[in-house]
Amino acid sequence: MKLPVHPHYLKQLFVRCTWTYRVFILIVMVFFAVYWNTLTDKAPLEDKTAQDEKISLLKWPACDKIIAGEISNELLSSLSFNYSPAKPKYTSCAGLTRFNGRHPWVSIEEENFPLAYIITTYENYQRLARLLRLLYRRHNIYCVHIDATAPESFASRVHQLVTCYGSNVLLVPPSERVNVIWGEFSVLEANLVCAEMLIRSKKIQWQYVLNVNEKELPLRTNWEMVKAMKALNGSNLVQYHAGNWTKRIPKSKLTFNFTWYKGSFLVALRRDFVVFMLRNPKAVAILDALQSSRGHITVPDEMFFSTLAYNPHLGAPGACLYRTRRNSTDPRTMFLIRYVSWKDTMCHTKRWRNEVCLLGLKDLPMMIKAPQLFANKFTPNVQPEAYDCMEYWLIRKIIREQDTHSLDKDFNDTVFAQLYCSTFHI
């Protein structure tokens, strides 16, 4: 944008002024020009050229050393003064949708196996923008749920963000948004709203749906996600936690036989499993029982998917034929949906939220070797450089796929194929 000053006026001013005043006026003009350009650069999501938004993939030495396990107090403290070369420019659609100046390269295998994502968000626009940037591919489909209590200014920014992408990013309308409260039915409810929108959409015939929130980060590229889902061999990725969960069970009795099971709310589900859980009368009855117990049981969201997935006689597509207890020595029982450290395990940051350790820099060497799909959880007020560094690591993998048209040599989808449920399911 040009300065609103007429050139004829400037010429007359220079002629009449002394040399000192000319220098002074020139300095003022330069300052005003810089300030004006700064203001205009802050216009929301203004598109720029790909060259302006090109990500510098020069090495980030401090991050590379930490990922390699070379962790020292001096290195950790210096990292906070280094700017991540992988961070996007939030004011530009190009910066939010491209890597190294290009849209992500997509393999034929990915195009033939589209995925769906349910993304829930509440307060952190930048983390949401970065998450969507890492996950987005033109052939996939996405549903974004904004918490009903989120400020209108936040909702407006998210709406602008969604416009950077295609019509394959759906935004839950304000009238259908849910006030999500941890430990209550509303957590599940928000995801069900998106699941319904994804099923009704005719844009893309997606194969699997995965749910994620703004405090998480993918550990896999889209190609690796596809490989993992295909390795499930038609099963679902739903956890089962053995134990006595009587206090989690609704009091209402249903007219058919089944057993309540607890697992994780975070899942990867076949498309026809999603149709089953939304349309099948028994699945709807189980859901209604959880909803009617609102306020009387805790964390009902952890009971729904597992109950459907581990009662094969109910007929949910891909349901597991057997339940297996988690055994750290048996890879067939691994929990592969999330990398997470619970309160009773080592937590390097010594910070927790809802009994989950907040991940930090010392977690990185282990995290990059983990087979899980996502890492949970990161917050901006606890070692934000850890998120920056993992984002940098993943983007380098994405661009390496673009350059070589091949998967990372360390990725192994066998861990998904060898799960008990991958072999023994309906």
Sheet holding 141-146, edge to edge: 169-171, 141-146, 115-121, 208-213, 268-270
Distance separating alpha carbons of residues 364 and 393, to the nearest angstrom: 10
Q: Tell me if 249 is assigned to some domain.
A: yes
Question: In terms of domains, do 140 and 14 share one?
Answer: no
Tokens representing 314 are 């109910």
Above 80 in pLDDT, residue 402? yes
pTM above 0.95, yes or no: no
Distance separating alpha carbons of residues 309 and 322, to the nearest angstrom: 10
Above 90 in pLDDT, residue 267? yes
Above 50 in pLDDT, residue 73? yes
Q: Which of 251, 256, 265, 318 is nearest to 283 (CA)?
A: 256
Question: In terms of domains, do 146 and 34 share one?
Answer: no
Q: Measure CA of the first residue to CA of the last residue in the chain; give whole Å.
A: 62
Compute CA 104 distance to the chain's CA centroid, rounded to the nearest angstrom: 17
Selected residue with higher pLDDT from 15 and 369: 369
Instruction: Confirm if 177 and 146 have CB atoms less than 8 A apart.
Output: yes
Distance separating alpha carbons of residues 66 and 63, to the nearest angstrom: 5
The percent of residues above 90 in pLDDT, for the chain, comes to 67
Question: In terms of domains, do 264 and 412 share one?
Answer: yes
Above 50 in pLDDT, residue 49? no
Which parts of 310-384 are beta strand (E)?
338-339, 352-353, 356-357, 374-376
Above 50 in pLDDT, residue 153? yes
pLDDT of residue 33: 45
Distance separating alpha carbons of residues 390 and 385, to the nearest angstrom: 9
Read off the pLDDT of residues 296-348 as tens digits, 9 standing for 90 and up. Answer: 788 999 999 999 999 999 999 999 999 999 998 899 999 999 999 987 778 98
* CB burial of residue 395 (10 Å; 0-12, 13-18, 19+): buried
Residue 205 CB neighbour total at 10 angstroms: 10
Question: In terms of domains, do 36 and 110 share one?
Answer: no
pLDDT of residue 24: 56
Q: The CATH number of the domain where 381 resides is what?
A: 3.90.550
Q: Give residue 56's pLDDT band: very low, low, confident or very high (50, 70, 90).
A: very low
**What region, left, alpha or beta, does residue 403 occupy, with left being phi > 0 and alpha being psi -120 to 50 degrees?**
alpha
Question: In terms of domains, do 227 and 303 share one?
Answer: yes
For the segment 102-121, the average pLDDT, to the nearest whole number, is 97
Tokens representing 411 are 């990725």
Please, which residues bridge with residue 146 across strands?
121
Q: Tell me if 130 is assigned to some domain.
A: yes
How many domains does one find in the chain? 2
Question: In terms of domains, do 37 and 150 share one?
Answer: no
Distance separating alpha carbons of residues 228 and 334, to the nearest angstrom: 14
Q: Tell me if 87 is assigned to some domain.
A: no
Q: Give residue 142's pLDDT band: very low, low, confident or very high (50, 70, 90).
A: very high
Residue 174, domain extent: 106-423
Question: In terms of domains, do 277 and 413 share one?
Answer: yes
pLDDT of residue 34: 40
pLDDT of residue 19: 54
Read off the pLDDT of residues 2-17 as tens digits, 9 standing for 90 and up. Answer: 444 444 444 454 445 4
For the segment 346-372, the average pLDDT, to the nearest whole number, is 92
Distance separating alpha carbons of residues 244 and 394, to the nearest angstrom: 39
pLDDT of residue 99: 83
Amino acid identity, residue 178? Answer: V
Instruction: Confirm if 374 and 216 have CB atoms less than 8 A apart.
Output: yes
Q: Tell me if 93 is assigned to some domain.
A: no
pLDDT of residue 357: 94
Token look-up 């930048």 returns: 126
pLDDT of residue 295: 74
Q: Tell me if 85 is assigned to some domain.
A: no
Q: Tell me if 50 is assigned to some domain.
A: no
Question: In terms of domains, do 205 and 335 share one?
Answer: yes
pLDDT of residue 42: 38
Question: In terms of domains, do 259 and 336 share one?
Answer: yes
